[in-house]
Structure 1
């Protein structure tokens, strides 16, 4: 049952990351993503952010169909934890919009779910929790 939930979770995360990547590519107003980009480097920033999210989407979708689910779970948890920490640091100097707070919440919840699924998928839970 845990493997099915893990595959479903990774698949949904992959689809969401693909959607965010495509939104980055096609949106002209980035405020919905909590990003403000102006000036000469705007196209390069769109390609970098959008391409990164598309890569992550494909990576997590392939992980949902792969065999080593625990590795993908810990990657997802650490990635979203780092994204949330970076977003929190960036919010120190700016006022946060509602979209930024929603993305922060999504990243924190996704990281927490990935850690719970990682702990549940461990065949010997006593090693993780010191028992």
Structure 2
């Protein structure tokens, strides 16, 4: 994996969620391409200074979301995001939202809180898939 991910040990966000969100964003943006192999659980855990179980949980969550596929003797590879969703448009909208939030003085934690609140309030809307 040529793209760097980082864990902020001072953040209140759990390590597995920091890693999951960064990898999901990289896959969604196309920085990690379909078929690209992710590091082994142990290698990534060592590189980030976190427990292997944390990386394993992250990979399981990404697999449940359809972003990676893990197979014995093959490892964990990126799978193409679903074609039905124009991820580039979603990524662009997310970037606009973050710029707007920062222009209004929100820090990263407040931006995450706003997204989490939006996820909760739109959960039961028609056409909105349930989270896993």
Q: Compute the TM-score of the two structures, normalised by the length of structure 1.
A: 0.31
Q: Compute the TM-score of the two structures, normalised by the length of structure 2.
A: 0.31
Q: Between Structure 1 and Structure 2, which shows a larger proportion of helix residues?
A: 1
If you compute each CA radius of gyration, which structure gives the higher value, 1 or 2? 1
Q: Between Structure 1 and Structure 2, which shows a larger proportion of strand residues?
A: 2
Higher relative contact order (CA 8 A, sep 6+): 1
